[in-house]
Structure 1
Amino acid sequence: MQVVQILHMNKGDGQTSYARNSTVQRKSISISKPIIEKAVLELVGSNIMGIESMGIADLGCSSGPNTLLPISHIIDVIHAKPSEVTELRVSLNDLFSNDFSSIFMSLPSFYNKRKQDYDNGGDPNQHAINIYISAVPGSFYGPLFPRNSLHFVHSSFSLHWLSQVPNGLDNKGKCSISKSSPKCVLSAYSMQFQKDFSDFLRSRAQETVDGGRMVLSLMGRPSFDLTTEHEGTFYQFELLAQALMAMVSKGLIEEEKVNSFNMPYYTPYPEELNLVLDKEGSFIKDCIETFEVEWHSSGADINRNVGTFDDDQTITSSGQRLVTNTVRAVTESILEFHFGKGIIDVLFQIFEELVSEYLSNCTTTPKYTIFVISLIKKN
């Protein structure tokens, strides 16, 4: 599977589009906001910022209402801090099939709002900062930018997508790591992630100036053990595999077709992240924080480190639809490539039924584990 040519979030603004089903991703951006602000403030206040032109990259930007949120926040932080910066070179990156056209169409209103905010509430002692936004399509697991051209790099909800499905998997009836997958499957996925994350860090090290900053957020899991109660981050793919096998039993898909399908997706655990960061060695770890976010977008508050569940809240029937559409919005392109477009609607009808049954049996709302990592490029 050529992930770089196939993978993209669902385009447009329909019921199953990424634009309308990316609330979890929006929450991830929200919880990482203080970490981004701290990193940007320290960057602007450091000696390397005696420059006029600052390079910023958002890697895995996707499209829709979330795309320009991190950039807006970074710009606000820089604008509020006295510095010599007069222009920001903002690069938005994603894979080639990303819906860049919709991003371009949203830029006029983005620029107008920036201008209005500055005109209405800007500090008169602060000079205006020119903003230049461009798109850079391609895989972030390789070089994307000239050497020493970036000062701040951001990536949200992207690094759990691998550059490829690991080779030689024998993962019959599953489509990702699971409690019942053979150990060799978990090992293959782990090795692929470690290689990809190392390639990502190595590429960014070449492109980022010494002392530059990077804030990354990605899906993960609390520990190496897949049999713990913290199954929320990867269990949705177990349910998706069950839905695929249900279609096999109905004669709608060949079993061999399911057995040959695996997602290019992996959720690392903290020790694994630290291992790769220490081994690659180009960045200093400023912090690695863990958050939990509920599967459904209308759940309880986001809590740092350990999530809590409000007993007065219930998961309504709309919750299962939200979960279903969230998963569909990010996986449909890959599923359609492997199985064909004709099975998608039925597949997610079955998936929604399985999600409903799973949620109704949960004593606490299932949660995703999210890691936010702040890094400093070594001198």
Structure 2
Amino acid sequence: MLMELEQVLHMNGGDGDNSYAKNSSQQKEAILKAKPLLQQTMREFYCNSFPDCIRFADMGCSSGPNAFLPTWETIEALHKTCHSLNCKPPLLHVFLNDLPGNDFNTIFKALPGFYDRLKKGDDQNDLLSCFIAAVPGSFYGRLFPPHFLHFVFSSYSLHWLSQVPEGLISEKGVPVNRGNIYPTITSPPSVHKAYLDQFEKDFTKFLTLRSEELITGGRMILTLRGNQSKDESFNNYRPIFLELIGSALHEMVLEGVVEESKLDTFNMPMYAPSLEEVRNVIQREGSYNINLLETFQLSWDAGSSNGENSLEGKYARGKQVAMKLRPVVESILVSHFGNAILDDLFQRFSIRVADCIEKGLGVHTNVIISLTKK
């Protein structure tokens, strides 16, 4: 199951209209939200040990311009720190990790531009202080030697599960989450438990593997989608994107566009945990001290240029949001439903998004975590 998912789960590559590179402004906003914490943590780590070389892993880097953003933020932090201390910056060895199906070629093609940008910095020698390598593979498996890494960063990746949870088919072979592709308010409790169990298993494995690869005192900064339905600052229930896609698919089933059995047997391998669910896993796993664990909000169209409030603007915003999500989930949807329904599906999805935005429900809850290995 893990290998099968690895083969179909990837962001759309290239730089076309439906590519992740052209539609990842919201993911950029999440990285920018974590920037102050990342840079503060990197400064603290360096000043505590003054290593000659810092080994930094970005797990779930994807492709496009965001792939280098955490690296650049790290370089900025180290350069400013060393400038204030009047010392030479350490070497930075960066490992960009994602599944083998990721478009690493686009990253490689952008490397000369990244190094050219470094050349234009205050110190031309900084060019030689950063070395970048790609590490294909699932972060639910071992990727590095023991006690090798100093710093791990991951943004918007750990809500993806290693597999579709078990227990979504009854003993009689009947799908228990019929009409949905994700746990919703209409799903039975067993579905919610199956997803939570899978998240706890996967996140525990991630933490344990990274604890083996990190040095003692190594640091981790993680962001992932969080559970927003329980956010008390909103009076109305707030659906997430996957619920709206499931609703659109259900409508297509009623119209005969999609086979009912196709919808009933499809469940997205993603889970947005609550803050307490994340805390419980970290504390049970036991390898880390929690420095920070909190949530932040991002609008569904964060990073978009269209901010109109007119009716026309509402649907334009809905379309923009749909364009951003499509490169993220297209590969896994196509593997199950085929390519023919995609344009229709995302048109219906964009209308639902526009309606949620109009009602003030178009906000993501995100979890940000800072950990130190004991």
Could you tell me the TM-score, scaled by structure 1's length?
0.88
CA contact (8 A) 1:299 1:313 kept: no
Q: Deviations over 1:315-361 (max 9, x none)?
A: 5322101111122121100000011112211211222233233334x
Alignment-mate amino acid for residue 238 of structure 1: E
Q: Deviations over 1:267-293 (max 9, x none)?
A: 000111110000001111011121100
Please list every run of 5 or more consecutive structure 1 residues that lacks an aligned counterpart in the other structure.
301-309
Answer yes or no: is 1:254 the counterpart of 2:259.
Answer: yes
Tell me the residue number matched to 1:336. 334
Q: Distance in 2 between matches of 1:258 and 1:281?
A: 39
Tell me the residue number matched to 1:303. none
Answer yes or no: is 1:186 the counterpart of 2:192.
Answer: yes
Q: Distance in 2 between matches of 1:144 and 1:317?
A: 43
The Cα of 1:188 is off from its aligned counterpart by 0.5
Q: Deviations over 1:78-124 (max 9, x none)?
A: 1222356542111000011000000000001101111221347x8xx
The Cα of 1:16 is off from its aligned counterpart by 2.1
CA contact (8 A) 2:54 2:91 kept: yes
The Cα of 1:298 is off from its aligned counterpart by 5.5
CA contact (8 A) 2:304 2:320 kept: no
Tell me the residue number matched to 2:245. 240
Answer yes or no: is 1:28 the counterpart of 2:34.
Answer: no
Q: Distance in 2 between matches of 1:366 and 1:279?
A: 33
CA contact (8 A) 2:275 2:294 kept: no
Tell me the residue number matched to 2:366. 370
Summarize the alignment of residues 78-227 of structure 1 with structure 2, pairs less than 5 Å apart. 78-82=78-82, 86-119=90-123, 130-169=129-168, 170-222=176-228
CA contact (8 A) 1:298 1:319 kept: no
Q: Deviations over 1:227-253 (max 9, x none)?
A: x74644x52212111111122122222
CA contact (8 A) 1:221 1:268 kept: yes
Cα distance change, pair 128–96 in 1 and its aligned pair in 2 (3 A): closer
Tell me the residue number matched to 1:64. 64
CA contact (8 A) 1:141 1:200 kept: yes
CA contact (8 A) 1:248 1:254 kept: yes
The Cα of 1:311 is off from its aligned counterpart by 11
CA contact (8 A) 2:180 2:243 kept: yes
Could you tell me the TM-score, scaled by structure 2's length?
0.90
Answer yes or no: is 1:350 the counterpart of 2:348.
Answer: yes
Answer yes or no: is 1:270 the counterpart of 2:266.
Answer: no
Please list every run of 5 or more consecutive structure 2 residues that lacks an aligned counterpart in the other structure.
169-175
The Cα of 1:365 is off from its aligned counterpart by 4.6
CA contact (8 A) 1:56 1:152 kept: yes
Answer yes or no: is 1:16 the counterpart of 2:18.
Answer: yes
Alignment-mate amino acid for residue 81 of structure 2: K
Cα distance change, pair 317–11 in 1 and its aligned pair in 2 (3 A): same
Q: Distance in 1 between matches of 2:190 and 2:257?
A: 29
Q: Tell me the percent identity.
A: 42
Cα distance change, pair 88–171 in 1 and its aligned pair in 2 (3 A): same
CA contact (8 A) 2:58 2:152 kept: yes
Q: Distance in 1 between matches of 2:292 and 2:357?
A: 33
Using the TM superposition, name which of 82-91 and 270-279 deviates more: 82-91
User: SS of 1:211's equivalent?
Assistant: strand
Using the TM superposition, name which of 12-21 and 263-272 deviates more: 12-21
User: SS of 2:67's equivalent?
Assistant: coil
CA contact (8 A) 2:208 2:287 kept: yes
User: SS of 2:102's equivalent?
Assistant: coil
Q: Distance in 1 between matches of 2:48 and 2:69?
A: 25
Q: Deviations over 1:175-212 (max 9, x none)?
A: 01111111100000001000100000001000000111
CA contact (8 A) 2:89 2:129 kept: no
User: SS of 1:180's equivalent?
Assistant: coil
Q: Distance in 2 between matches of 1:320 and 1:204?
A: 38
CA contact (8 A) 1:243 1:347 kept: yes
Summarize the alignment of residues 258-337 of structure 1 with structure 2, pairs less than 5 Å apart. 258-297=263-302, 316-337=314-335
Cα distance change, pair 194–104 in 1 and its aligned pair in 2 (3 A): same
CA contact (8 A) 2:10 2:331 kept: yes
Q: Deviations over 1:141-167 (max 9, x none)?
A: 111111111101100000000001101
